[in-house]
A and B are shown apart, each in its own frame.
Chain A
Amino acid sequence: MREGYVLGLIPETWRFELTQFPWVRRLLKSRWIPLALILFNVFLFTVILMAGFFGGLTSPGNYNFGIMIVWILWWVLLMMVLVPVLSRFWCTMCPLPFLGEWLQRLRLFGVRYVKGRNLYFGLNKRWPKSLSNMWLMNVLFLATTFASGFFTVRPAATFVLLAAIIALSVVLSLIYRARTFCLYVCPVSGFQGLYSNFALTEVRVKDPEICAKHKTKGCVVGNERGYGCPWLLLPYAFRRNTYCGMCFECLKTCEYDNMAVNLRPPGVDLLVDEKRGLDEAYKALIMLGIAVVFFVTFQGPWGTLKDWANAATLSGYLTFIGLHASWNLIVLPAIFLLFVWLARRAARQAVPLKKVYVNFSYATVPLGLAAWIAFSLGIILPNGSYLLHVLSDPFAWGWDLFGTAHFPWTPVLTGIMPYLMILTLLVGLLFSIDIALKIARQTFTEPEAAGRGAFPILGFLGATTLSLMWLFVG
């Protein structure tokens, strides 16, 4: 592969500025964006919460608006479109922290800016430094998946989960600064952040020289046009998508219109050796591991496992939690550690094992994302037609709002679904190999050592892909 090119084809530095079009820039600088999108989702999630509340514990999942919209439509859109293409665009329009942010700002539309700074309601405390990473999100996301067996069959479980996220976001917004909840607590935020490094879009500075000379830094401290970065970042120094929530406040506050939204080649942020850590490495592996657990549980032929996940018995449920947690926190990271150890040994270069482990973990991101996209195909193609039903009858009250309440179950493209899944995995593998080879050159400075060191990692990626293929298509 050519150095500096994605897959040897597209220069890593290639960018296409979407905000060069005046109407796009105007749109993103308007305070209606993202407010309008958020308000739409507030309405949608209100209906979802109601459907979950009224659905109780026994309504079948495929006839519940909350379950269908959240776990079929939203999750699939997130994995297949939003994250790989639009980065953290879901965070742009997420309604869950809406109440908390509204309370902080005490404004829905305008900007509270007095005496050179934005005003916020709340205690505005700093989040503890020891928790300023992805560990808490890793634990919370994993813990959330312990209840995954309930979410698709018990609407009340979806209600409790969403209500808990909303309540927690409000409470933390009243205590801590800005989007602390989204940055360090939200279970969905962590994997979006990591996987957004593979995304095709980014918010970045156009000309760093302008920022270097600019003293007031409205993008950080805010001004009368907008708030200082709610994600507590330095927009002028962005190099990775991980923690950028794409709220576009920096586009609004920049006095020089020096912020841009760009199209770019996929995966370039995975090569940025900045603030890499074991927390993100674990996130990458946990996501890969959970994809396997979900597939085995939900689409596997093992009824016992379904019973365990569905808490048919307490001992079975505890067994599920134990196996699930062990696989994701111990077994898979240990398997990866073995390959990393082999890589370091093959390279014969004195690089700390932790650095090798962390660096190569980013090579699993494209494959992990592909595994989730493949899993999502297995959700949406057979079950997508139920969406038409719940749109017309969201509370199972016998409504027929759009005349689709009696649309029959209609699987779509399921005959070629396994082939689509294989193709998805192969594309993911291709990108993972590309990233792994480049990270090998970053990690082991000598080219020959890098070549030798990459081999075990390619073995891990290949074996993982084959295992997933075997799992997906038998």
Chain B
Amino acid sequence: MKKIVILGLIGLVVSLFVVGSYYALFRYRTFPPAADQPVETLDVLYVARDVELSERGAEDPVWRHVPSKTLALAPQVTAIPWGKASVPEVTVAAFHNGERIFFRLQWRDATENRAVGRDTFTDACAVMLPLVEEPQPNTIMMGFLEGANIWTWKAVRDAQVWGRERAASPAPAERPYTDYYYPLEEREVFPIVRESVASAVEDLIARGVGTLTPRAHQRVQGRGLWRNGTWTVLLTRALATHEAEEATLPVGKARAVAFAVWDGAKGDRGARKSITGWVRLRLWPAEVPAGAAGR
């Protein structure tokens, strides 16, 4: 009798485990997570004008009239090499003119680093825009698994693009690329790894760590200016999107955005950077309700 009871109990436990696991794995109902909403909101107002990618554009009066946010930066610590809290904060402002969006990022940096070499790294900044409207929150330890469109401005590219006249002919639509830095490139008769640089900003896509890939069509422009220990970087792209791997910027809606900054003099490169959390980017239509922006 005792053995029968024990066998029955064992059968019950095993059955419960099998049925429970089956339901958890195959008949589950995933509840949408109540993700935390970004604390900061950056309002992007409609302003019927352009700014040029120049020193004058960086100091344009329009930047005094659009809302800006100073965002705290934290070292990136989810994938090695980790950041070292090199840059404490970045100030971001943005506006759109119905056709293009303009960002201005400013941060303190005692040195202007526009070259790369052995133990020499470039200053840089980036804007990350998830490819989905409602990005799933980060997943611990496995990294950001949603796709993202990342615009990365690098001072070294900036020097290549803005330090000389642009090539007369436009860049081909698709080019081979490499993320390998070849230190003896300058001594080669023919280019080995260097791509033709058309913009100071790389238009990238990523799906997680180690997946950064340039988009086939580079549509983001930018320029950085360093003065008195401060970088001012302007970034611009058309609002309209043409491809699935290009982040949408819907006017009249809000979407997530994040920013990153690299201080080359302090060894920042690759994953070693300072990042913000998610920020809500709210693009206002042409008519802004009185007193609505900036809340």
Contacts and interface: CB of A to CB of B under 8 A. Distances in A.
A313 interface: no
Nearest to A303: B210
Interface stretch (A158-166, A187-195, A316-324): A158-166
Given A53-B24, A303-B208, A153 B77 contact: no
Given A53-B23, A301-B210, A152 B142 contact: yes
Nearest to A419: B84
Nearest to A149: B142
Contact of B77 (A175, A300, A306, A381): A381
Contacts of B77: 378, 381-382, 411, 414, 417
B33 interface: yes
B140 A163 contact: no
A386 interface: yes
Interface in B235-292: 270-272, 277
Contacts of A395: 31
Interface residues of B, number: 55
B31 A54 contact: yes
Nearest to B34: A398
Interface in B106-138: 136-138
A376 to B, nearest CB: 12
A301 B80 CA distance: 6
A211 interface: no
B13 A171 contact: yes
Contacts of B142: 61, 149, 152-153, 298, 306, 309-310
B35 interface: yes
Contacts of A310: 142
Contacts of A415: 74-75, 84-85
Contact of A167 (B17, B79, B137, B208): B17
Given A62-B137, A163-B20, A418 B10 contact: no
Contacts of A123: 3, 6
Contacts of A434: none
Contact of B14 (A54, A167, A417): A167
Contact of B24 (A103, A160, A300): A160
A30 interface: no
A292 to B, nearest CB: 13
B229 interface: no
Nearest to B88: A415
Contacts of B6: 122-123, 174-175
Given A306-B142, A408-B277, A55 B78 contact: no
B140 A62 contact: yes
Interface in A365-411: 378-379, 381-383, 386, 389, 393, 395-398, 405-409, 411
A170 interface: yes
B143 interface: yes
Interface in B29-85: 29-39, 74-75, 77-85
Nearest to A295: B80
Contacts of B35: 60, 63
B45 to A, nearest CB: 25
B216 interface: no
A452 B36 CA distance: 59
B209 interface: yes
A68 B84 CA distance: 26
A63 B81 contact: no
Given A63-B35, A414-B75, A474-B272, A298 B141 contact: yes
B33 A60 contact: yes
Contacts of A149: 142
B180 interface: no
Contacts of B277: 408-409
Interface of B: 2-3, 6, 9-10, 13-14, 16-17, 20-21, 23-25, 28-39, 74-75, 77-85, 136-143, 145, 207-211, 270-272, 277
6 contacts: A53-B28, A60-B137, A60-B139, A61-B140, A163-B20, A383-B141
Given A175-B6, A304-B210, 6 more contacts: A60-B35, A152-B140, A174-B10, A300-B79, A386-B140, A411-B77
* Chain A to chain B: the 10 pairs with minimum beta-carbon distance, closest first: A303-B210, A56-B28, A415-B85, A56-B30, A474-B81, A63-B33, A298-B141, A167-B17, A156-B24, A396-B33
